[in-house]
Amino acid sequence: MKRYPDAPAAAVDGVSLALATGEFFALLGPSGCGKTTLLRLLAGFERPDAGRILIGGEDMASVPPYARPVNMMFQSYALFPHMSVADNVAFGLRQEKRPRPEIERRVAAMLDLVKLGPLAQRKPGQLSGGEKQRVALARALIKEPKLLLLDEPLTALDRKLREETRFELVRIQQRVGITFLLVTHDQEEAMSMASRIAVMDQGRIAQMGAPDQIYERPANRFVAGFLGAVNLLPARVATAAGGVLTLDSAEAGAPLKVEHERALAPGTAVTVALRPEKMLLGTTANPAWPNALSGIVRGIAYRGEASDIEIELATGKVVRATVANADRPARSALTIGQPVFLGWRRDAAVVLET
Amino acid sequence: MTGRLSPFLAAMMTLGFLFLYGPIASVIVYSFNASRLVTVWAGFSTRWYGALLANEQIKNAALTSFEIALMAATGALILGTLAGFALARYRRFAGRTLFAALVTGPLVMPEVITGLSLLLLFVALEQAIGWPHGRGVPTIVIAHITLGMAYVSVVVEARLASFDRSLEEAALDLGAKPGKVFAAITLPLIAPALVAGWLLAFTLSLDDLVIASFTTGPAATTLPMVIFSSVRLGVSPQINALATILLVVVAVAIVIAGRAVARTRSSAAR
Amino acid sequence: MSARPYTGRWRRLAVVMPPYAWLALFFLVPFAIVLKISLADQAMSIPPYTPLIAGGHLLASTANYRFLASDSLYARAFGNSIWFAAWATCGCLLIGYPLAYGIVRAPLRWRNALLLLVILPFWTSFLIRVYAWIGLLQDNGLINRLLLDIGLVHAPLPLLNNSFAVYVGLIYSYLPYMVLPLYAALEKLDPVLLEAAADLGCRPSQAFRRVTLPLSLPGIVAGALLVFIPMCGEFIIPDLLGGPNTLMIGHVLWDEFFTNRDWPVASAVAVAMLVLLVLPMGLLRRYLTGERA
């Protein structure tokens, strides 16, 4: 069990996390949110002004990095240029003064795991970006740390490689069973790999939970806006009954019905968050839609698997809808300037109180 | 920016290089002149080289200079590396401003001042504590170390400034203590800069006339001092021969060094 | 707040102390001694100067300084030094800038070789490079012989042992020291800027004047300040190549010390050089190049 309540001034404040052993966790947030500081605190390169870092029950806050059971995969890989791949990977074990045969055996096994066996004698300068990353991973994993930190592992890779590596990392993590903590500003990276995510904003945790949880049910405007595109409609509560809120929204121009577990007092100001892909489009109004608006198509961006449609409502507000292109009839009927009807279900949107 | 040289620029560059190498070339050419006089070419001859090799005074001076340079360069390397390291890594400590000024001082100080001040120090020290007993090789070595360490520190500091600290952090993360990190990671990677610094200090010591003249004693004569006293009287063919030998040695050394650098760069490719 | 390596207090001390102590003893303290001796008087003793305290009296006097101020020789030498150094620095710049610029613009595969060619003289003996000019500049030297043979002149030109030779010597010897900072500054120049200038309608000569030159100014300043002070205090060049009218202050110091055996006056000259030349230029250099404290 790992727990890190700590509060160094300014950069990270009042953060309290607990990671389960063997979990793949992600710290997600924009630059400057404090995630890198938290990472360095865990690795041991910074010391907290207040708080504790418990790993396996022991407080590590004042333990230097070389004495912690934590290893890091650096964003720039930080491979030792004057050593071969095998020597890089063996470095940690050599510091532990392991016997030679054991080191050789474990290095070979680790290189096999990351599929770099034939490149063992190459120097980092002769490797591609993806290969360098695997060396960095192997080097960190071989010491079997209690916690592995990954600093923006996919950011430097091109798109194709990113997708391959994503699956690789998850596969390896499940295979070795080590707790992974990933730090990134890319929400796709975090959501696709981690089983739990903490979204950070200005030194604090904005929301923590499983990827689908925080995506579908964001707790506040920051999280809603940070993870993917979202339509935000300011509104006021009109009535609350049976788990459904009816809201008045000047920007929407029509009453909205959203499921919400708390019955809020009428008149409360909230924001309704609606993901573009939850919007249903049609050339005619559909009476089955509990929420229905109409507007004019202002822009269409074709993205291969889906299209983003910009629609200007009668109130002047511009909303975005995303439609899968496999859904032929809906797409082929749309042109710029065309009037269109949109709607969504009562459980499609989320009411945000902050 | 690269690739095209305007004719004007090419002409100016050629003139510039001619200017740089003209005198050197003339020295080399005339070292093979059978006649003493520069104006008369009396045919190709290596007699001056022969005379040079038989010249005991010059040979002893060369040995002395070499000895001094070896010791001074090594001392300068050690102290200069420490200084360069301190300046590059320790952003704040008591007396840093003074330290930085002292380290780079010898670089800009005219040599006559450095030489005079060191000599006066040695004299005062001898009066006060009895050491050094007169001046000679040890005092010259001390003086050259003081000068050389300034150059070494500049080289080392520059190298450390562009050093990727995440490599050191990675080593720490993998379990190496700070001392081990320095020995296994930092030192090997800044080694070329250290070699360059040593060579710089070595050359400086070998070539120094002014400071050596001030800080020397009756027993120690360095090569520059011998050269200087010869050339004060005018052109000397043996000096031409000596100059040519030195030039060739330096040129060969630089080419070898250049090749070695290129080879290490390509083996760690990209 | 960080646990970086090498910041342990004892470790820091171990790294900083040796060079600090060495320099304090062998660089800083000597200046104090120079000052002390500049206040003494020449004496027929070993060492050849009067002690600071004798018979309970302080024997210090500023006589030497008054002597320096009164004898125009020293003022002239100072003036000469600055004059020669200033013009020679300009000369280095005029010859060095095209060299550095050309190397930066040369095809990449030539660049290293060209740099090597510029650096090579720097590694060979300073003394010998100055000496080489004697053979070229003397009355029956190469240059005069060439001019006579061509018929350009009918009598050898006095090229040695005068100001001309000193200028040539200074420019020649310090050229590599000027080229290197210039090259470093020009190399950092992003060629994209010149392309942008061309795209916006600048002719090459205009682009040079408005983009390259201003951006290379730090390199120019660095190179100029690097060579100016040592040039002022130069001894070998005025001694080997100069004449009666080319008195420079470094040479004066040497003469006072070795020829006149007047250590106190030599010390006074040194202090004067420090106060009037080295310190102001050093401060200027720090200010202009923004060196970290």
Question: A185 in contact with B at a CB cutoff of 8 Å?
Answer: no
**Chains adjacent to B (≥3 CB pairs closer than 8 angstroms):** A, C
The domain in which residue C119 lies consists of 72-261
CA distance A48 to C141: 75
B188:A82 CB<8 A: yes
The pLDDT, as a whole number, for residue B6 is 78
Question: A64 in contact with C at a CB cutoff of 8 Å?
Answer: yes
B192 contacts on A by Cβ (under 8 Å): none
Question: C240 in contact with B at a CB cutoff of 8 Å?
Answer: yes
The pLDDT, as a whole number, for residue A21 is 87
The pLDDT, as a whole number, for residue C55 is 65
Chain B: give the shortest CA distance to residue C154, in Å.
16
Q: DSSP for C214-280?
A: HHTHHHHHHHHHHHHHHHHT--HHHHHH--TT---HHHHHHIIIIIS--HHHHHHHHHHHIIIIIHH
B171:A44 CB<8 A: no
CA distance B49 to B8: 41
Q: Which residues of chain C have pLDDT under 70?
A: 1-7, 53-57, 289-293
The pLDDT, as a whole number, for residue B270 is 37
How does pLDDT run across A271-294, given as a tens digit for each residue?
999 999 998 888 888 888 888 888
Give the 3-state secondary structure of residue C1. coil
Is the pLDDT reported for residue B107 higher than 50? yes
Instruction: List residues bridging with C117 in a β-sheet.
Output: none
The pLDDT, as a whole number, for residue A2 is 55
Q: Where are the beta strands (DSSP E) in B81-211?
A: none
Evaluate whether C285 touches B108 at the Cβ level (below 8 Å): yes
CATH number reported for the structural domain that contains residue C240 in this entry: 1.10.3720.10
CA distance C236 to C174: 13
Chain A: give the shortest CA distance to residue C5, in Å.
9
The pLDDT, as a whole number, for residue B102 is 92
Q: DSSP for C63-108?
A: HHHHHHHH-HHHHHHHHHHHHHHHHHHHHHHHHHHHHHHHHHHS-H
- A75 vs A332, higher pLDDT: A75
Is the pLDDT reported for residue A329 higher than 80? no
The pLDDT, as a whole number, for residue C208 is 84
Compute the average pLDDT of residues B46-50: 85
- For residue A323, name the pLDDT band (cuts at 50, 70, 90): confident
Evaluate whether B158 touches B204 at the Cβ level (below 8 Å): no
The owner of tokens 């390896």 is: A172
The owner of tokens 């991973």 is: A137
Nearest to C5 among B27, B78, B168 (CB): B168
ipTM of the complex: 0.86
Phi and psi at A314, nearest 5°, equal -60, -30
Whether C25 maps to a domain, the answer reads: no
How does pLDDT run across B129-184, given as a tens digit for each residue?
888 888 889 999 999 999 999 999 999 998 998 899 999 999 999 999 988 998 99
Ranked by mean pLDDT, the top range of A6-10, A197-201, A236-240 is A197-201
Interface of C with B in 73-112 (CB under 8 A): 95-96, 98-99, 101-108, 111-112
**Chains adjacent to C (≥3 CB pairs closer than 8 angstroms):** A, B
| Average pLDDT of chain A to the nearest whole number | 87
**A2-225: CATH homologous superfamily?**
P-loop containing nucleotide triphosphate hydrolases (3.40.50.300)
Whether C66 maps to a domain, the answer reads: no
Instruction: Give, to the nearest 10 degrees, the angle between helix B137-161 and helix B56-89.
Output: 40
Architecture label for domain A229-352: Beta Barrel (2.40)
C-alpha distances (whole Å) from C109 to each of B258, C105, C106, C113 are 14, 11, 8, 8
Give the 3-state secondary structure of residue A271. strand
Half-sphere exposure of residue B184, counting CA atoms within 13 Å on the CB side? Answer: 22
C95:B16 CB<8 A: yes
The pLDDT, as a whole number, for residue B188 is 93
Compute the average pLDDT of residues A112-141: 91
C16:B23 CB<8 A: no
C47 preceded by a cis bond (ω within 30 of 0) = yes
pTM confidence score: 0.83
- For residue B256, name the pLDDT band (cuts at 50, 70, 90): confident
A143:B175 CB<8 A: yes
B169:A64 CB<8 A: no
Question: A66 in contact with B at a CB cutoff of 8 Å?
Answer: yes
Whether C243 maps to a domain, the answer reads: yes
A45:C1 CB<8 A: no
Is the pLDDT reported for residue A108 higher than 90? yes
Q: Nearest-CA neighbor of B246 among B18, B31, B76? A: B31
CATH topology of domain B55-234: MetI-like fold (1.10.3720)
Q: A-B interface: how many C-beta pairs under 8 angstroms?
A: 70
The pLDDT, as a whole number, for residue A4 is 60
Residue-range domain boundaries for chain B? 55-234
Question: A63 in contact with C at a CB cutoff of 8 Å?
Answer: no
Question: C3 in contact with A at a CB cutoff of 8 Å?
Answer: yes
Give the 3-state secondary structure of residue A232. strand
| Average pLDDT of chain B to the nearest whole number | 87
Whether C16 maps to a domain, the answer reads: no
B173 contacts on A by Cβ (under 8 Å): 43-44, 65-66, 70-72, 140
Geometric angle at alpha carbon C270, from C267 and C271, rounded to 5°: 90
Chain A: give the shortest CA distance to residue B201, in Å.
26
The pLDDT, as a whole number, for residue C1 is 35
Q: Nearest-CA neighbor of C66 among C253, C268, C280? A: C268
**Chains adjacent to A (≥3 CB pairs closer than 8 angstroms):** B, C
Residue-range domain boundaries for chain A? 2-225, 229-352
How does pLDDT run across A225-267, given as a tens digit for each residue?
898 889 999 998 888 888 888 888 888 888 888 888 888 888 8
- Residues 6 or more apart whose CB falls under 8 angstroms from that of B237 comprise B30, B31, B33, B36, B48, B51
B227 contacts on C by Cβ (under 8 Å): 125, 127-128, 131
